[in-house]
Amino acid sequence: MDMTEERRQLTVEEIHELREKLLKRREELWEEVRETLTSRLGPEYRDVIQTVREEEDLAQADLQEDIVIEALKSRKAELEDMAKALWLMDRGEYGKCQGCGRWIRFKRLQARPSAIYCLNCEEKREREGRAAAE
């Protein structure tokens, strides 16, 4: 990433471009979610649930649910980030770092339109998250 790029308010055209990217990616993610649910919780899952007779059947159904939920966690997080970015666009606050209040570089937003933190604040949050997990 070019760190010499200035931090500045986005133009209307840039916001429009990034909104289109967000909306397109959001639709792709929802399609992935639908496909995951259909393929992993398809007819076999419904059959197991309808015919649960023993503890083992219920454990198998729970395990299947857990696997699907884990697979969908990252998509859920990305969809939440997109919703927040779109909300900020509607409020006229998109492109401002939610950490330090400075403008996020356009190149970062092009790479990740759902970003709501500048690179410095994102890295700081990740370090703090890792430290808290230890």
126: amino acid identity, one letter: E
Question: How far does CA 126 lie from the centroid of its chain?
Answer: 15
Classified by CATH at the fold level, domain 12-133 comes out as Four Helix Bundle (Hemerythrin (Met), subunit A) (1.20.120)
For 5, list phi and psi in degrees, rounded to 5: -60, 135
What confidence tens digit (pLDDT) does each residue in 43-67 have? 655 555 555 556 665 666 666 677 7
Residue 1 pLDDT level (bands cut at 50, 70, 90): very low
pLDDT at res. 43: 63
What confidence tens digit (pLDDT) does each residue in 70-121 have? 878 888 889 999 999 999 999 999 999 999 999 999 999 999 999 999 999 9
What confidence tens digit (pLDDT) does each residue in 19-30 have? 999 999 999 999
pLDDT at res. 6: 80
